[in-house]
A and B are shown apart, each in its own frame.
Chain A
Amino acid sequence: MRRQLRTVFSTVTGSVAAVLLLLLVLLAIVGPIVWSAKANAIDVAKAWLPPSGEHWFGTDELGRDMFARSLVATRLSLLSAVAASGIAIVVGVPIGLLAALFGPRLTSAFQSVVNVAIAFPALLTAMFVGTVIGIGVPGAVLGVGIALAPMFARLTQTLTASVVSLDYVAAARTMGVPLHKLVGRHILANVAEPLVITATTSVGTSLLGISALSFLGLGARPPQYDWGGLLSTGLKAIYTSPLAAIGPGALIALSGIVFSLLGEVIAGAFGDSQAGRRFGRVARAMARRSSKATLPPSDVLLDVANLRVGFPSEAGSFPPCGVSRCGSPPASGSASWASPAPARA
């Protein structure tokens, strides 16, 4: 993990994304502490003021400072985004695991449901949930979380399916390893990286989704406010003080970009390092299994005979072998079969 972190910081985009994320988190922590008083100071006489030295983004309909409000809103905006992603993971990952672990029939049923669910507009799902549990931050967070859950379910199902057929899972089963350890140690540990990457990007997606809901008046409601809500306030004053809308809008865009960049950078870091190699190896192991299956069954031993004639019986304690490795012709499209692994040990 430390090596991955170093890789993240070694790229320009990685450093930029990391620094911006740090700033956002810092702002989320100190923002409400420092600027709350200013953000909530009502002065109707100063309503809808254009930007000035005193009010950088101008003021809203109650004369509150839009800049201070934008800073304070960082906490709610980020927290709800993280919470929504958390819900998506908590709902989606177990469903994907179940679908992959328990039989092909469940898997195909799952696939039909999830494919429809993914094609379904996420905002509509979120609105549906919001209607049921009421308009507000919890409704928006739960709605976006549930809307994103199918994505995690499908990813987990695909990844798990690719791991669960590997021999080390079979080996663990023959050891009598209980299910929770099997899932934790052998499956989740080996599919964690793509999940982490998707989780990172999904925070950005959640943030945009919740902002959209708040912007439409279906998320945070007064007295709570997040960037989406501030953006819709600012839109009302777009003719007189455009910064009131552009400010929160820029913060939304920036955060969205930070999380998607971060996801990309993490993916790159995993790709460069041992994790990527491991993935390559898993794929190779599977390729080998499939190529074994496509070998013409009856030719194997005959071909050995042809190849082995005249081969000196050199090994003192052990007759030569290696039939499948050198004897059989490479089956169609099995590159890994044709090239033997480098001799080691």
Chain B
Amino acid sequence: MDNVDLDVTDGRVLGLVGESGSGKSTIARAVLGLAPVHAGTITAGGQEVRRLSARQRARRVQMIFQDPFGSLNPRMNVGGIIREGLEALGELPARERAAEVTRLLELVSLSPDLAERLPRRLSGGQRQRVAIARALAARPGVLIADEITSALDVSVQAQVLNVLRGILAAERFSMLFISHNLAVVRYISDDIAVMRDGVIVETGPVDEVLAAPRHPYTRELLAAIPQLHPVT
């Protein structure tokens, strides 16, 4: 992968779309320091991400993972998992922490009673919402959502996306939304970037790009969701 240039602008959602293996997840992991970067810069809030301490980076960038069955520690209860996100903010008094956990659970439309539960007693959709709450707990400037719906069933996907959209309307933060599914990306994003073989082939506001795709690959992607053609 080379020459990938992505800008997640303030308060907007950038959808990154492309086929499996095109390097979308590698970008996400590189931003978070989970994958090595050989050249180039990754900045968040004007600072080179790799120069930041783990804690500082946690405040700037957070991630929601694809697989809610693998991204929650089976040994920790929901409250503990979300509190771990809060720890990135520094020391909070215990009472404030409990209140914040409750607020976050409500934010993702989960009952605060779930805080005592272990992940194994949650459904896939509930787990993914816990993962969202955990990421939001660190109050990141940028949230990265890496294929967050692809491990979920269709009806549950809608739920999770609607929760995310509701939060985007209520709280101001930027998001990099990665998916191979154009329909999902289009539903949630303001801007879109199309990636193929490690190269960004097209980028722009979502409506413009989808209304008049310039790159053949984008057109190919669009054609893959035929039932949406009449709408555009």
Q: In the complex, which residues 225-271 of chain A have their Cβ closer than 8 Å to any Cβ of chain B?
A: none
Number of A-B pairs, beta carbon distance below 8 Å? 176
Residues of B within 8 A of A177 (CB): 54, 84, 87
**Which of A167, A175, A178, A308 meets B65, CB within 8 Å?**
A167
Question: Interface readout for A180-198 with B: 1 if CB under 8 Å, 0 if not?
Answer: 0000011001100000000
Residues of A within 8 A of B34 (CB): 170, 173-174
Check A185–B224 contact: CB distance below 8 A: no
- B70: interface (CB < 8 Å): yes
Which 8 residue pairs of A and B lie closest in terms of their CB atoms, listed nearest first? A344-B123, A345-B125, A285-B70, A176-B58, A167-B71, A176-B54, A345-B123, A176-B55
Query: Given known contacts A170-B71, A288-B67, what 9 new A-B pairs fall within 8 Å (CB)?
Result: A171-B71, A171-B134, A174-B32, A175-B87, A189-B73, A305-B224, A305-B226, A321-B157, A343-B156
Q: In the complex, which residues 307-338 of chain A have their Cβ closer than 8 Å to any Cβ of chain B?
A: 308-309, 311-313, 315, 317-326
Check B124–A345 contact: CB distance below 8 A: yes
Check A167–B155 contact: CB distance below 8 A: no
- B145: interface (CB < 8 Å): no
A–B Cβ pairs within 8 angstroms, 5 of them: A168-B74, A171-B134, A175-B87, A313-B227, A320-B227
Q: How far is the CB of A231 from chain B (nearest CB, A)?
A: 44
- B176: interface (CB < 8 Å): no
Residues of chain B at the chain A interface (Cβ within 8 Å)? 19-22, 29, 32-34, 53-58, 61-63, 65-67, 69-76, 84-85, 87-88, 120, 123-126, 131, 134, 138, 149-159, 161-162, 180-181, 183-184, 187, 220-221, 223-228
Check A343–B153 contact: CB distance below 8 A: yes
Residues of A within 8 A of B29 (CB): 170
**Which of A175, A185, A278, A322 meets B58, CB within 8 Å?**
A175
Q: How far is the CB of B128 from chain A (nearest CB, A)?
A: 9
**Which of A171, A300, A313 meets B131, CB within 8 Å?**
A171
Residues of B within 8 A of A175 (CB): 58, 62, 84-85, 87-88, 134, 138
Check A185–B67 contact: CB distance below 8 A: no
